[in-house]
Structures are given as structure tokens and as C-alpha cells.
Amino acid sequence: MNLVSIRLITADLDRLVAFYERVTGVDAVRHTPDFAEIHTSAGTLAIGSVRTVALFAAGSAEAAANRSAIIEFRVQDVDASYERLRAAGETLDVVAPPTTMPWGNRSLLLRDPDGSLVNLFAPVSDSARTTFAATRTS
């Protein structure tokens, strides 16, 4: 089994897609006015409007209601990513500025426009790089 994508449901597709395009530096593929995808080498972040929920099961998902998941992107340099977003005039909802975590990752925690927690991280200690490499090969 392979994890293929994570899908976010939003009431403002354009705003959320623009946020993730800026954060990732990847242009979204717009399949319909109600659905877009941001493809990375590890998987896809899918973004659907609230109008798509009824196609699955009416009432099964709710926009801007996430408080249990963290959407994580591995980046080359957390501090450079933070400065790039700030220099672009981004209004960032920073939960925690770049911080080195006890397990050896450097992380920047943000909230997306719908309130979902986003972690831009990079393994910076030797043990974190080794651990991350081992989890990617198993």
C-alpha cells in the first residue's frame, strides 16, 4: 500500500492553493475550478472546494476544522525558507519560528489560511539525517 495524497477541503480554493504554491514553490495543477493538486516527489497535496465533499459523502468533511494533523514538508534550509516567505511579503501565521527540536530536526511551524498546522523541517543533526534516511528506505 502507498500513501498517495492528503486532501484538504476549503471554502476558498484560490486562497489555499496560492498559499501552498508559495510555501512549496510548486505550481498547482488545476483539474477543475473545484480541485487542484501540488505534486512533490514524495506525494501529492490535493485541495478541494467544499463543493467536492458531496461527491464523496455529504457532510463527511468540513473546511477549516483541522486541529489534529500537521502537514509536513521537508526543505533544504528552514531558515532560508522562512526568509524567502517573509521577503515575499507573506503574511505568515507563525506558530513557532525556526527552532531546532530535541530529535534533531529544524522546524518552522505555520498555520495555513484555513488554520491547518504546517511544518517546514530539515534534519540537521547526524542522528536525525540517519533516522530520516532509514525511514525512507524501509
CB 78 within 8 A of CB 123: no
| Edge-to-edge strands, sheet with 35-39 | 5-10, 44-49, 35-39, 29-32
In angstroms, the CA 103 to CA 101 distance is: 5
Query: What's the whole-number mean pLDDT along residues 44-60?
Result: 95
CATH, domain range 67-138: 3.10.180.10
Q: Which of 71-75, 119-123, 134-138 has the lowest mean pLDDT?
A: 134-138
Query: Region 55-65: what's the mean pLDDT?
Result: 93
Averaged confidence pLDDT in the chain: 93
Rounded distance, CA 26 to CA 61, Å? 26
Q: Which residues contact 35 (CB under 8 A, 6 or more apart)?
A: 13, 46, 47, 48, 49, 52
Domain 1-65 belongs to what topology? 3.30.720
Domain boundaries, the chain: 1-65, 67-138
The DSSP bridge partners found for residue 121 are 74, 107
Please tell me which residue, 90 or 11, carries the higher pLDDT value.
11
The reply to whether the predicted model has a pTM over 0.85 is: yes
Q: From the CB of residue 82, how many other CB atoms can be counted at a distance below 10 Å?
A: 20
CA distance 31 to 125: 40
Three-state DSSP state, 73: strand
Q: Is the pLDDT of residue 129 over 80?
A: yes
At residue 136, the pLDDT reads 62
Residue 133 has pLDDT above 90, yes or no: no
